[in-house]
Amino acid sequence: QKEVEQNSGPLSVPEGAIASLNCTYSDRGSQSFFWYRQYSGKSPELIMFIYSNGDKEDGRFTAQLNKASQYVSLLIRDSQPSDSATYLCAVNMGGNNRLAFGKGNQVVVIP
Amino acid sequence: ETGVTQSPTHLIKTRGQQVTLRCSSQSGHNTVSWYQQALGQGPQFIFQYYREEENGRGNFPPRFSGLQFPNYSSELNVNALELDDSALYLCASSLVGTRRETQYFGPGTRLLVL
């Protein structure tokens, strides 16, 4: 079982719609969860972090965490063409404080 | 901009050569982590340095080694380069002791091994 899984294929959404991304993780003891955005040819950029069960909102982004189900999600409201990127889910594995990443989900916002 | 810098931005080497990549951490951060990102994959943890010592290592062979300096900057050294080492190498800085120790990435070094 992979430490962090993002199974959805590329996601195409019309401009103004909601993009929904999901991520599951294997280590029940994980405490910190992150979403990074990565534009093609660039490095990952932190857009959200969440530590507690429930929702966390920051502008058009909402992160949701359910530790019992070992599930993290990201919602992008009012999607814009500039949101077109790959979104990486990362989980802090504790111990040596390393981040385990999913493979990423590509989002394409269609004008 | 995260304040994390890396050099060089691009590098071409041949199989068997050695390479050194450099990273300067964000001001106030004391920890540097290195990741390898192959095309189409998420970053993979190589190792982390804190107080000039290795503080955890991922599943990478010993030919991947590193250093951290008193000013918290860091180097990643790879010996006996293989074709599969071609990737984007990312460093991330963080502050141990702060809540959850969020990591911020530099722009990366793209390495091509021929």
- Percent helix, strand, coil in chain B, to 5, is 5, 50, 45
Contact yes or no for A43 and B102 at CB 8 A:
no
Task: Give the SS3 label for residue B33.
Answer: strand
DSSP B96: B
* Residue A104 per-residue DSSP state: -
Neighbours of A107 (CB within 10 A): 22
Is the Cβ pair A103, B41 closer than 8 Å? yes
Going from the C-alpha of A37 to that of each of A101, B100, B112, the distances in angstroms are: 12, 19, 24
| Residue B49 pLDDT exceeds 70 | yes
Nearest to B55 among A42, A96, A99 (CB): A96
State both tokens at B28: 């106030």
- B99 three-state secondary structure: helix
Q: Please check the confidence at residue B10 and state whether its pLDDT lies above 90.
A: yes
pLDDT by residue (tens digit) across A34-51?
Answer: 999 999 999 999 999 998
Report the Cα B20 to chain-centroid distance in Å: 10
Residue B23's pLDDT band (boundaries 50, 70, 90)? very high
